Amino acid sequence: MSAPNKSYDPVEVEALKPEEIERMRDEAFAAFAAAGDLDALAQAKTAHTGGTSPLSLANREIGALPPQAKAEAGKRVGQARGAVSKALAARQAELEAERDARVLVEEAVDVTLPYDRTPAGARHPLTTIMERVADVFVAMGYEVAEGPEVEAEWFNFDALNFVPDHPARQTQDTFFVQGTTPDGKPTTGDESGIVLRTHTSPVQARTLLDREPPVYVVCPGRVYRTDELDATHTPVFHQIELLAVDEGLTMADLKGTLDHMVQALFGPEMKTRLRPNFFPFTEPSAEMDMVCYVCRGTSVGNPDRPCRTCGSEGWIELGGCGMVNPKVLIACGVDPQKYSGFAFGFGIERMLMFRHNVEDMRDMVEGDVRFTRPFGMEI
Ligand SMILES: [Zn+2]
């Protein structure tokens, strides 16, 4: 057995000297006190209580001491570490309380402030009217049909019985995307150019070619004509078109359908009238008018109560209609001996103008929310 190693003096282990331990402890206290927020405190915590902190390193030195020196050094280091973790917990609690107080102030909500500072827009009234009209017909069992806006000339004109030299085919009315044959010659009745559709009626021909009667469809959509944009014209506008083809349909069915539509849109007292007209794709054809929904006809012959909406005529022109021309049925492969049909269509812009006294068409296309917002979600 060897004698105690008298030459080893634990006091000589630098890291375990009482003043060294005190210095380490005080440095930790100072670092915690200096930490201004929880992030800084977390850094100080790692530096002064982590595995490589001075006190942890000193703690490891204890194992190397002779037994008689271990207890004292262990007590000293243990007390210092205890004091450090107590100081850390206290500073942690202090900083958390400060943070909570700050969050309460910074994230406070003033419930008296106006709640809606971002103005909400609104759907465009043209969209809303189109959907509303389509809904009336969907409720009667019609389907919504759509077609391309860049359309074959054949669908836009020929299938609808427009003769080859019809004025509507000329470039002062129609946008031609491709008006010539591949070898550069002007198209004739046998060859089809490409146009921006001038009405929604080509959807009629497409629908009839696509399916067997009975056919009941409503076709809302955008159409194009070479008009300058001014108060009453726009080169891009909207139509809604209706087509019914079935056995035994007559003008009386057309009239009943029109009456139902205006009553659904304008009120139960409304009615329509038909005036003879001509369209290539219907025979017979008619202009349809509805009773002025503002004055209900009371302005007629009554100069004391003039009506701006109908010009004191008592009726408002709504659009065109008629029985589908048998030539159109034949062009679309439908037997006119067995089936008959009716169609009508009208412009949505025009309906918006007389219904809401919109006087300038440019307001509808300029995209100013001050125009659309008053219409809100419902018109
Ligand atoms: Zn009127």
Ligand 1 centroid vs 284 CA: distance in angstroms? Answer: 28
| Inside any domain, residue 77 | yes
| Residue 247 and residue 278 in one domain | yes
Ligand 1 centroid vs 301 CA: distance in angstroms? Answer: 12
Ligand 1 centroid vs 269 CA: distance in angstroms? Answer: 14
Ligand 1 centroid vs 267 CA: distance in angstroms? Answer: 15
Q: Which of these, 291, 292, 264, 287, lies nearest to 345 by C-alpha position? A: 287
| Residue 310 and residue 369 in one domain | yes
Ligand 1 centroid vs 289 CA: distance in angstroms? Answer: 12
Ligand 1 centroid vs 298 CA: distance in angstroms? Answer: 7
Ligand 1 centroid vs 319 CA: distance in angstroms? Answer: 17
- Global model pTM greater than 0.75: no
| Residue 101 and residue 129 in one domain | no
Ligand 1 centroid vs 316 CA: distance in angstroms? Answer: 8
Ligand 1 centroid vs 132 CA: distance in angstroms? Answer: 23
User: Residue 274's pLDDT is what?
Assistant: 94
User: Residue 239's pLDDT is what?
Assistant: 92
| Residue 197 and residue 310 in one domain | yes
pLDDT tier at 367 (50, 70, 90 boundaries)? Answer: confident
Q: Say how many CA atoms lie within 13 Å of 17 toward its Cβ.
A: 9
Assigned token pair, 87:
């100081």
| Residue 358 and residue 264 in one domain | yes
| Inside any domain, residue 113 | no
Report phi then psi at 348, rounded to 5: -75, -40
| Residue 76 and residue 148 in one domain | no
Ligand 1 centroid vs 346 CA: distance in angstroms? Answer: 19
Q: Which of these, 81, 309, 161, lies nearest to 300 by C-alpha position? A: 309
| Residue 75 and residue 214 in one domain | no
Q: Can you give the CATH number for the domain in which 323 is found?
A: 3.30.930.10
Domain count, the chain: 2
Q: Which segment, 58-62, 183-187, 325-329, is predicted with the most confidence on average?
A: 325-329
| Inside any domain, residue 1 | no
Assigned token pair, 275:
């005036």
| Inside any domain, residue 115 | no
| Inside any domain, residue 119 | no
| Inside any domain, residue 286 | yes
Assigned token pair, 138:
């969907």
Q: For the residues 77-90, what does the mean pLDDT come to? A: 90
Give tens-digit pLDDT for 20-55.
888 989 999 999 999 989 999 999 999 998 888 888
Q: List the domain range (segments joined by +) for residue 248.
A: 125-375
User: Residue 11's pLDDT is what?
Assistant: 47
Ligand 1 centroid vs 291 CA: distance in angstroms? Answer: 8
Per-chain mean pLDDT for the chain: 85
Ligand 1 centroid vs 305 CA: distance in angstroms? Answer: 10
CA 52, 56, 59 angle in degrees (round to 5)? 145
